[in-house]
Structure 1
Amino acid sequence: MSNPNVIVYTSRNCNYCDKVITKLEEWEIDYEERNVSENREQFRELQRRNVYGTPAVFIDGEKILGFQERKMKNRLGIKEETPYMNTNTMNFS
């Protein structure tokens, strides 16, 4: 997926909001942060979307509530990393 439109609604003292932001930055995804604690209009905007808590992530209009790493990765087209297993060093006896 190229250049998804990502909007993240956050609030003050929200650990899961911090986790969402950290992951997006780790994945080098551009996003727009809207802090509902600091901007009353953004809070009302979130309520108009029938969401009353943070974090709320909208990726190309699709809503993801809370910190759901797999769902975000899936929607962003980021492949799950599979751990590498070296069968040459494993004992199968």
Structure 2
Amino acid sequence: MTEKSVIIYISENSKQCKNLLNQMEEWNVSYETRNITRNDEYKKELQDMDLYGTPATFINNDPNAILGFQKNKIKASLKL
């Protein structure tokens, strides 16, 4: 399997974010997290894309985020 580029914008105390990160670990997928609660710059990046919720998952530089914990959609995008 080729390595995927995965960036996940998360926020503190979000059950969906925790569930998504746990699922990524279970699938053994490498990812970068960007915590918008701790970093205002990441929050601004999301808002500049007209996105205001987390988790927001970007796979392989696709400009369209997968919003929320959409397990099947993320799995399909990762080709798992």
TM interval, short-chain normalised: over 0.9
Letter in 1 for 2:14: C
In the alignment, structure 1 segments of 5+ residues that lack a partner are 79-93
Which residue is equivalent to 1:70?
72
Which residue is equivalent to 1:89?
none
Distance in 2, matches of 1:68 and 1:21, equals 12
Matched, 1:32 2:32: yes
Q: Name the stretch that deviates more: 34-43 or 54-63.
A: 54-63
Q: Normalising by structure 2, what TM-score? A: 0.93
Where has structure 1 moved over 6 Å in runs of 4 or more? none
Q: Secondary structure at the match of 2:75?
A: helix
Q: Normalising by structure 1, what TM-score? A: 0.80
Higher relative contact order, chain-length normalized (CA < 8 Å, sep 6+) = 2
In the alignment, structure 2 segments of 5+ residues that lack a partner are none
Matched, 1:46 2:20: no
Give the CA RMSD over aligned residues.
Answer: 0.9
Distance in 2, matches of 1:6 and 1:74, equals 13
Which residue is equivalent to 2:57?
57
Residues 25-84 of structure 1 show CA distances to partners (whole Å, capped at 9, x for unaligned) of: 100100000000000000001111221010100011331000000000000011xxxxxx
Deviation at 1:2, TM superposition (A): 1.2
Q: Percent identity?
A: 44
> If you compute each CA radius of gyration, which structure gives the higher value, 1 or 2?
1
